[in-house]
Amino acid sequence: MDDIVPISPQAPERSLPSLAEGPACPAPAPITGEVQLGHGSGGKLSATLLRERFLPHFANPALERLADAAVLPAPVGELAISTDTFVVHPLEFPGGDIGMLAVHGTLNDVAMMGAVPVALTAGFVLEEGLSLALLDRIVTSMGLAARAAGVPLVAGDTKVVERGKADGMFICTTGIGAVDPAFRPGPERARPGDVVLVSGPIGRHGMAIMAVREGLAFEAAIESDTACLVPLVAALRQAAGCGVHVLRDPTRGGVASAVNEIAAASRVGIELDQPALPIPGPVEAACEMLGLDPLYVANEGILLAVVAVERADAALSALRSHPLGAGAARIGTVVDVHHRMVVMRTAIGGMRVVDLLPGDQLPRIC
């Protein structure tokens, strides 16, 4: 450490401010209804923010200890861990907000490994000037989402950055789940002959966000599909067990990207059936208007399941009998040709390649 300069004994003594000059540290500014830099200071304002605006929504014994780390009983066997950062704009959108999205998104990723989520953590980056009323709405919604899923948020962190250095707020969530060795779906487990199912209509989350951003109005408003898929996975497991080879939530990049990832990981081909794709009318209309392909639009409350053919009917009816899967459909087949490639049989009988997009079709969507 050659940048440390020893203090010379001859250095003049620095004079301390006299009491008459007033206190050396400025007192915190009064509360104004907005997030202030002091809320991230680690001092009194931070403690108040935590106690009054976060803890009431996430109450659980592990969190309330307010120790440096939450201590949890260890599940037997293996753990699934997933982490995700949410930067969606706007923070509130038809059908949801960044808080519930952060809970659902992370729980869903854990559930896609067949694991049962047992705990969540969250880190918040707040921008100076963010309305405290908006923060309250988002934290309330996040607490409700975690409670509805029955998964405690056991550790968290808040930081505040200056105006202009973040767009309102960003949230990073991590989820831990217990893996049951008897139920191990994975992206590399698709086999030729398997059936591809989708649990509901596609493209709703992405187009709900884009409709708000672009100021589009439709006769039927498009709402985000954001939802916790844990119960749907449980229903699927009960109906098809080990016949469920792959589970994937087609979020950013949509169904097209998710099936491409499955084809690549499993070294198989996948054939989609265009007329079978459940695309809601308003989503199709909005996509046409904006020049987007619904197959690439983000979803936050549906899953893709690649299921052994002999369990496919049972899996589909289990999905359809659950409220979250009422719109489930059989959309494709795994094939032993054009490995690592996805093709789609179009309505007029042609075939086209469904490739990965080179970049982001829709930025800041989740």
Three-state secondary structure call for residue 264: helix
Q: From CA 99, how far away is CA 102, in angstroms rounded?
A: 5
Q: Which is nearer to Mg ion, 207 or 298 (CB)?
A: 298
- Coarse DSSP helix, strand, coil percentages of the chain, rounded to the nearest 5 percent: 35, 20, 45
User: Minimum Å distance from CB 249 to Mg ion?
Assistant: 4
* Contacts with 194 (C-beta within 8 Å, 6 or more apart), sequence order: 245, 246, 306, 307, 308, 309, 333, 334
Q: Which is nearer to Mg ion, 222 or 246 (CB)?
A: 246
Q: Which is nearer to Mg ion, 105 or 143 (CB)?
A: 105
User: Minimum Å distance from CB 198 to Mg ion?
Assistant: 14
For the record, the structure tokens of 2 come out as 């050659």
Q: Which is nearer to Mg ion, 246 or 331 (CB)?
A: 246
Q: Which is nearer to Mg ion, 97 or 109 (CB)?
A: 109
Closest CA to 126 of 95, 99, 93: 99
Closest CA to 335 of 309, 314, 304: 309
User: Minimum Å distance from CB 113 to Mg ion?
Assistant: 10
User: Minimum Å distance from CB 110 to Mg ion?
Assistant: 9
Q: From CA 115, how far away is CA 112, in angstroms rounded?
A: 7
For tokens 């498009």, name the residue. Answer: 222
Q: Which is nearer to Mg ion, 91 or 111 (CB)?
A: 111
Q: From CA 106, how far away is CA 112, in angstroms rounded?
A: 10
User: Minimum Å distance from CB 264 to Mg ion?
Assistant: 15
User: Minimum Å distance from CB 187 to Mg ion?
Assistant: 10
For tokens 């009988």, name the residue. Answer: 349
For the record, the structure tokens of 167 come out as 């767009």
Residues that bind Mg ion in the complex, under the rule CB under 5 A: 109, 249
Q: From CA 220, how far away is CA 206, in angstroms rounded?
A: 16
User: Minimum Å distance from CB 101 to Mg ion?
Assistant: 13
Strands 169-178 and 116-127: antiparallel
Q: Which is nearer to Mg ion, 110 or 328 (CB)?
A: 110
